Structure 1
Amino acid sequence: MKIVLAPDSYKGSLSAAEVCHILTEEIHGVDGNIEVVSMPLSDGGEGLVDCLGQALGGEIFPCQVQDPMGRPVTARYLMTSEGTAIIEMAAASGLPLLAPEELNPMETSSYGTGELILDALKRGCRQIIMGIGGSATIDGGMGMASALGLCFVDGEGNRLKGCGADLMRVMGVEGSLPKALSEVPITIACDVDNPLCGPRGAAAVFGPQKGADPEMIDYLDRGLAHFSQMMEGLVREGLQQEELQSIKGMGAAGGIALPLYALEGAVLRGGLDIILDVLDFDGCIAGSQYIITGEGRTDAQSAMGKVVSGVARRGKAQGIPVIALSGAVEPGIEALYEIGLTAAFATCTNTRELEWQMTHAGDNLRRAARNILSLIMV
């Protein structure tokens, strides 16, 4: 028997590699002859560098940048031997860098992500792949663009910080992006297809998890619409004057892709598809009897380009049952079954507080794995 393990991280508790290690131990505890193929995954957010680093090799570079609140933090990115820079936005501008009481997309900035890109350019990168999951910002990429050389000013010519609160204040753009940036292909690994604005936009859908209240959400949504109009006026020669607000995926990570798409022709592509293709996922799952995937919480959003949905879709294409073992399984996941998921199970089955569940995530996973293995090994 062959079982493929293809989980995402359980954010805040277990990395994807740790999940694979635990599941491998439990499977071999049942039958040491089972072939286990471990493929820790990422949808373009947390774990992208580690995931692609294992497949592509290269060198990890540490870089001191600003966190979402402007404090110094050491982030890292991967440079492959062929000169491709693999950058995680979450490493510089991610939710894990903030305490719960600090979450406020009006104040947070993607400036540190721009600093990572700038460092990679200085090291001579020839291509950039940037994962944008897990961000703490809704600034339309203004902070990132500021770090790269643009200067956004208000109606009186005052330079703006580049945070969510500044979106409505932008009345002019000065400066320029590095010439080197226009000479490297940029692929943005985007894990959702939400547009920039509106009911499914960056502020409305993702604002609450970043600390936005209803008043902030309304302001940020209007601010992103205003900022995108500013970008439309700067679209570089050769690119179509598209309606930036309606492009699929532009609402991911608080609109971080906006300046790179408008000014540099960056390509938005499903982060998971990039990773699965690099890893030759289809070839690896061939001949397997089961695929086990999972994430911290499986819910309705999991069908929107997340690891579980991508794995389920590819498993279905080869007629392989796909089982999700996630920390929590919420109602509303019918779309996942249509995509190809066979069954979903929650590892947290009691009413203990979240902190306890996070601390005992490994034990919870082991217990759930034993039950699932008892079922499928009958």
Structure 2
Amino acid sequence: MNKVVLIPDSFKGTLSSEMICNIMEINIKKFFPSCQVVSIPVADGGEGSVNCFLSALGGEKIYKTVKNPYFEDMQSFYGIISNGETAVIEMASCAGLPLVEDRKNPQKTTTYGVGQLILAAAESGCKKIIVGLGGSSTNDGGAGAATAVGVKFYDKYGKSFIPLGGTLKDVVSIDLSKRAKKIENIEIVTMCDIDNPMHGPKGAAYVFGPQKGADSYMVEELDKGLVNLCEVIKKDLGVDLKDVPGGGAAGAMGAGMIAFFNSKLQMGIETVLDTVNFDKTIEDADMVFTGEGKIDTQSLSGKVVIGVSKRAKKKNVPVTVIVGGADEDMEEAYDMGVTSIFTINRLPLDFQLSRLKSKENMDATMENILRLIKSINK
């Protein structure tokens, strides 16, 4: 093999995408010392997304003091890539669930810091901003982030305020006229890998609220707030977000990114592939290695493995998929461009035990695959 492209997702709770790339490259070099290896670690928009883009493309991490989920000052960051033309922001860096520790309460948390990062990136001269959703502690519909860039929210008394999950029900009007001019002509792409709507039984509050600390009563109240915000957005901004897939992502931040930032929602892997110029990168590749913790029917809806395989298929480049586990019926995956699927677990063990051997199992699986390729290429 002369050129190989590595683009795995992480194995949640066991191996990061960077670790997987490293294991793969070491084994490839062992059997094919002169092979060019291109590593593109992938994150889904949540924690680690900035590091993955910087690892794949180079660039710089910029640190900025912004507000955390409880309006306390904290040091957060964003990444600058593509010669300073593109910024990458992960909302988890200042609105993430781990930041609230034992203070989980989506009625009181804010995305204000995310808006501060977006504004800072815009003021730095970027022409494009990629915002990764995921791992949030919030349920404010992106209203906090919008306020940070100048959007005004008014209550029934005509007083402006910063809406939280618990006060979205008090929003009666929205004014975009004071929104920072710096973000007007910037392309903003939001990485979003779920299709939940803004509100309702499958919306942000009902599906994700409990993991952020909401009890059943709070979930109902949060959903009422999102219903109200959705109606006011439609009335004042002329945007109907009720049934938009992904609107419920990250406490309805997906909907907020559309309404307040003129952003488009895009599958995370599609954003990554476009940003790293994947189609051109693989044109002369002999093999693409990808993978994820488990490949199943959910993977077929556009996660990393299938997103990669579909593009590789158009270039007639074979795709080897390495996973922790696989569903029995993956025939459709082969139709979408997957060449072969290998699972790393060598013995029937419970996940709590097998996860401790993930590094060794990944290493052994890669070695065996490469031994086979080497023998065929003789």
Give the corresponding residue for 2:41.
40
The RMSD of aligned alpha carbons is 3.6
Preserved CA contact (<8 Å) 2:41 2:55: no
Aligned match of 1:238 = none
Secondary structure at 1:86's aligned position in 2? strand
Q: Distance in 1 between matches of 2:148 and 2:186?
A: 18
Closer, same or farther: CA 330–229 of 1 in aligned 2, 3 Å: farther
Matches within 5 A, 1:110-125: 110-125=111-126
> Take 1:162 and 1:6, find their aligned partners in 2: how far apart are those partners?
39
Cα distance, 1:317 vs. partner? Answer: 2.6
Q: Distance in 1 between matches of 2:315 and 2:127?
A: 35
Tell me the distance in 1 between the aligned counterparts of 2:116 and 2:150.
10
Distance 1:104 1:334, change over 3 A: farther
Residue matched to 2:92: 90
- Distance in 2, Cα, partners of 1:141 & 1:189: 14
Residue in structure 2 matched with residue 49 of structure 1 by the alignment:
50
Number of equivalenced pairs: 370
Q: Counterpart in 2 of 1:229?
A: 231
Question: Are residues 1:324 and 2:343 paired?
Answer: no
Give the equivalent residue in structure 1 for 2:186: 184
Between 1:321-330 and 1:114-123, the stretch displaced more is 321-330
For the 8 Å contact 2:290–2:320, the answer to whether it is kept is yes
Q: Classify 1:183/1:28 alpha carbon distance in 2 versus 1 (closer, same or farther; 3 Å).
A: closer
Displacement, 1:140? 0.8
Deviation at 1:345, TM superposition (A): 4.6
Q: After the TM superposition, which residues 149-228 of structure 1 pair with which residues of structure 2 at under 5 Å, given as runs?
A: 149-152=150-153, 154-155=155-156, 162-173=163-174, 176-207=178-209, 209-212=211-214, 216-228=218-230
Are the aligned partners of 1:167 and 1:227 in contact in 2 as well (CA < 8 Å)?
yes
Separation of aligned partners in 1, 2:27 and 2:229: 51
Q: Cα gap change, 1:204/1:298 in structure 2, threshold over 3 Å: closer, same or farther? A: farther
**TM-superposed deviation, 1:202:** 3.1
Percent identity, aligned pairs only?
A: 39
Paired with 2:39 and 2:250, the residues of 1 have a C-alpha distance of 28
Secondary structure, aligned partner of 2:247: coil
- Unaligned 5+ runs, structure 1: 236-240
Query: What is the Cα deviation at residue 113 of structure 1?
Result: 0.6
5+ residue gaps, structure 2: none
Give the TM-score of the pair, scaled to structure 2.
Answer: 0.80
Superimposed CA distance per residue, residues 309-358 of structure 1 (whole angstroms, 9 cap, x where no aligned partner): 2112212333444333344556887764553334545546632538x93x
Cα 1:13–1:73 change in 2 (3 A) is farther
Q: Which moved more, 1:170-179 or 1:241-250?
A: 170-179
TM-score by length of 1: 0.80
Compute the displacement of 1:116 (Å). 0.9
Change (3 A) 1:146 1:6: same
Contact 1:232 1:262 in 2 (8 A): no
Post-superposition offset of 1:47: 3.9
Q: How does 1:1-378 map to 2 (within 5 A)?
A: 1=1, 2-11=3-12, 13-53=14-54, 57-80=58-81, 81-97=83-99, 99=101, 103-152=104-153, 154-155=155-156, 162-173=163-174, 176-207=178-209, 209-212=211-214, 216-235=218-237, 241-327=238-324, 329=326, 336-347=333-344, 350-351=349-350, 353=352, 357=355, 361-373=358-370
Matched-pair contact (CA < 8 Å) for 1:234–1:262: no
Secondary structure, counterpart of 1:272 in structure 2: helix
